[in-house]
Amino acid sequence: MPTIRLVKSEVTFEAEPDETIMEAAERAGIFLAHSCLSGICRACMTRVLAGSVEHDPEYADDLNIDPEEMEEGYRLLCSAFARTDVDLDR
Amino acid sequence: MAKALPSSRTVAQQARVESASQILKRFYVAERTLMRTLAAWFVGTSQWDLKRQLSEDMWQTAQHADALRTRILELRYPRRDVDRKYDPDVLALLAEVAKAKDSREFVAGVYDVLLPALVAGYQAYLDRTDPLDDAPTVYRLQHIVADKQMQIARMRALVERVYDDEPGSLADWRDYLARYVASIGGLDGLGGRVPMPEAHPCAGRPPYDVPRTVERDPRWRPALFHLPHENKYDAAGRAAWKRIEALDKRVAMQVWSAISHFNEIWAAEVPASVMWDLDNEPWDFYLDLARWSWDEARHSTMGWRVLEGWGWNVPDLVPWANGLYNALGSVPPAQRLALLHYYEEGLLRAGTKQIELRILESAQDDGSSQDMDYDWADEAIHVSYGYKWLKHLLGDDSAGREELQRLTDEARQIMVNFVAAHKDDPAAQLAPYFERLYPVVEAMVRDIPDDGLTVEWAPVVADEEVLQEL
């Protein structure tokens, strides 16, 4: 099970393979800014500092995130899964 | 010998698909243009009761236009023409409607002449068309007619409540527009035409434009700002607010939230003004901005409802500011939208709405909590609108993103300059409000027992740089 580390907050939690990082945070009782839970409002957009995070392939084309932002490591946590242990810029 | 059975029923002229789509297109043009006109006059109207009703009716009009547009495209109307080749008669009529000299006259023209004429046109269509063949149109028009009749009744009741008497000039304005409607054969264009009222005393006014600066309802004193974080120079206002905060931080948060909500009216005015300024964008642009604007007017109404609900004399105790709109009213429409988007996305990404909601929930303020909960949901939609349409306006490439950044930075600097330029303006001083508010809040909290909860103070950030400098 991947471990998510919020680097600035110095908090870690684990994510099931089939739950989004936002869902995993909520299950762990951790507050992350969000709103739509559908990848359109960008409230949860966060930079991945280490590890692999993938957007839900079913909705990847509908997400409000630019290719350049993706290249810079940003992901929408409400619509993304951790594939390895991950460090997030939070 | 060729034979044919007789038609099983008689059908009306103009009820075939081609005629129906042409007539519905004319209605669509009327609704679409009326929507933009209502948006502009919502901005230009200061009287609060009329203002928020104009906003709601603007959004409903957008729904009516959308329903008609959808149906037109089902009736073999070419997609490439549905948002082109607008009927010039209808555009000319709506341009005259917009030329009202004030909000009172505008309301009289729309709700006493234009909307009844539209309803008459819809009713004639419903009487003419076949309820089986054209059932999808019938369903839509029946709902539109019901909405319009409600709008007319509601606004007429509101006008009676707001105004004591009626100036004689209103009768002239109604007469002029009624004659104009008749000169174009009614909204469906099928009626007999009379000469255009070119010599009428109300004819020949200059074209309307959305105002670049707004005034608030005269029941309120002039105010440029509404809370101390907006104006770093207002030390007295900040000190007066801290006295309220010292009574109880969570109570102060409840008050802050309601005042902030009420003052979201500027966020309704920005998209509404953009709807007027940009007249040739894709239909979805207007549909989205109509929703954005109406949502923000709803949020403003939420704040006002809470303040009224506490039994306060709101105009006396709560500033209702116009600085945010007025500072940017003259910049290009995309730049106005860019700053609004910047604020809304920033608030969501900072989690401010969630924090506010938690504090309101901890206060067991169910009304304010529910308001904030829906506001939070609405703002997510607005950010997606801003993201989508700013790309459309500025370009979905690196140059477009750079331009968005440049426009946003420049708009923020304009705001900073505006604050500095008005630092000595009496309308920029909030202390008198908060000094009047203090004893009211103090009396309300006096007998409420302390529940012992520690509440983290979470101010609503409008400009983080200004806040950091406080």
- A75, two tokens: 């992901």
Q: Count the neighbouring beta carbons within 10 Å of the beta carbon of residue B307.
A: 19
Q: How far is B347 from chain A (nearest CA, A)?
A: 8
Residue B183, CA atoms < 13 Å, CB-side half-sphere: 17
What is the reported pLDDT for B466? 37
Nearest to B376 among A35, A45, A66 (CB): A35
Contact B387 A42 (CB under 8 A): yes
Span A27-53, mean pLDDT?
Answer: 94
Is residue B401 exposed (0-12), middle (13-18) or buried (19+ Cβ within 10 Å)? middle
- What length does chain B have? 470
B379 shares contact with chain A (CB less than 8 Å) = yes
Look at residue B191 and give its three-state secondary structure. coil
DSSP calls for B254-266: HHHHHHHHHTTHH
Which residues on chain B are in Cβ contact (under 8 Å) with A64?
383-384, 387-388
pLDDT at B335 over 80: yes
> Helices B265-277 and B17-44, interaxial angle, to 10°?
130
- Residue A60: DSSP 8-state: G
| Dist. CA A36–CA B407, nearest whole Å | 26
What is the reported pLDDT for B468? 46
| Alpha carbon B283 to its chain's center | 17
Contact A84, A3 (CB under 8 A): no
Span B365-386, mean pLDDT?
Answer: 95
Contact B279, B39 (CB under 8 A): no
Which residues on chain B are in Cβ contact (under 8 Å) with A66?
401
Residue-wise pLDDT for B35-48, tens only, equals 999 999 999 999 99
Give the whole-number percent of chain A exceeding pLDDT 70. Answer: 100
Q: Which of B95, B105, B97, B99 is nearest to B47 (CA)?
A: B105
Span B63-69, mean pLDDT?
Answer: 98
What is the reported pLDDT for B455? 62
**Domains annotated on chain A, with CATH:** 3-88 (3.10.20.30)
- ipTM score of complex: 0.89
Could you tell me the sign of the dihedral formed by the alpha carbons of B326, B427, B462, B405, in that order? positive
Angle at B341 between CA B338 and CA B343, to 5 degrees: 110
Which residues on chain B are in Cβ contact (under 8 Å) with A42?
345, 348-349, 383, 387
Q: How far is A40 from chain B (nearest CA, A)?
A: 6
**Domains annotated on chain B, with CATH:** 17-183 (1.20.910.10), 228-469 (1.20.1260)
Give the whole-number percent of chain B exceeding pLDDT 90. Answer: 88
Q: Count the neighbouring beta carbons within 10 Å of the beta carbon of residue B235.
A: 12
Span A22-29, mean pLDDT?
Answer: 94
pLDDT at B462 over 60: no
Helix (H) or strand (E) holding A74: strand A74-76
What is the reported pLDDT for B467? 39
Q: Which of B206, B214, B337 is nearest to B278 (CA)?
A: B337
- Residue A32: DSSP 8-state: -
Residue-wise pLDDT for B191-217, tens only, equals 999 999 999 999 999 999 999 999 999
pLDDT at B454 over 70: no
Contact B380 A35 (CB under 8 A): yes
End-to-end CA, chain B: 96
Q: Which of B447, B446, B418, B457 is nearest to B241 (CA)?
A: B457
- Residue B141 contacts by C-beta under 8 Å, 6 or more apart in sequence? B122, B125, B126
Provide the total of helices (H) and of strands (E) in chain A, helices listed first: 2, 7
Span A20-46, mean pLDDT?
Answer: 93
- Residue B393: DSSP 8-state: H
| Dist. CA B284–CA B460, nearest whole Å | 31
| Dist. CA B414–CA B412, nearest whole Å | 5
Q: How far is A14 from chain B (nearest CA, A)?
A: 22
Amino acid (one-letter) located at A50: A
- Residue A43 contacts by C-beta under 8 Å, 6 or more apart in sequence? A33, A34, A35, A36, B345, B348, B349, B351, B380, B383
Residue-wise pLDDT for B302-327, tens only, equals 999 999 999 999 999 999 999 999 99
Q: Band the pLDDT of B463: cuts 50, 70, 90.
A: very low
Residue B336's alpha-carbon distances to B341, B343, B370, in angstroms, are 9, 11, 29
B392 shares contact with chain A (CB less than 8 Å) = no
Contact A41 B350 (CB under 8 A): no
Residue A7 sits at φ, ψ, to 5 deg, of -65, -45
Contact B381 A64 (CB under 8 A): no
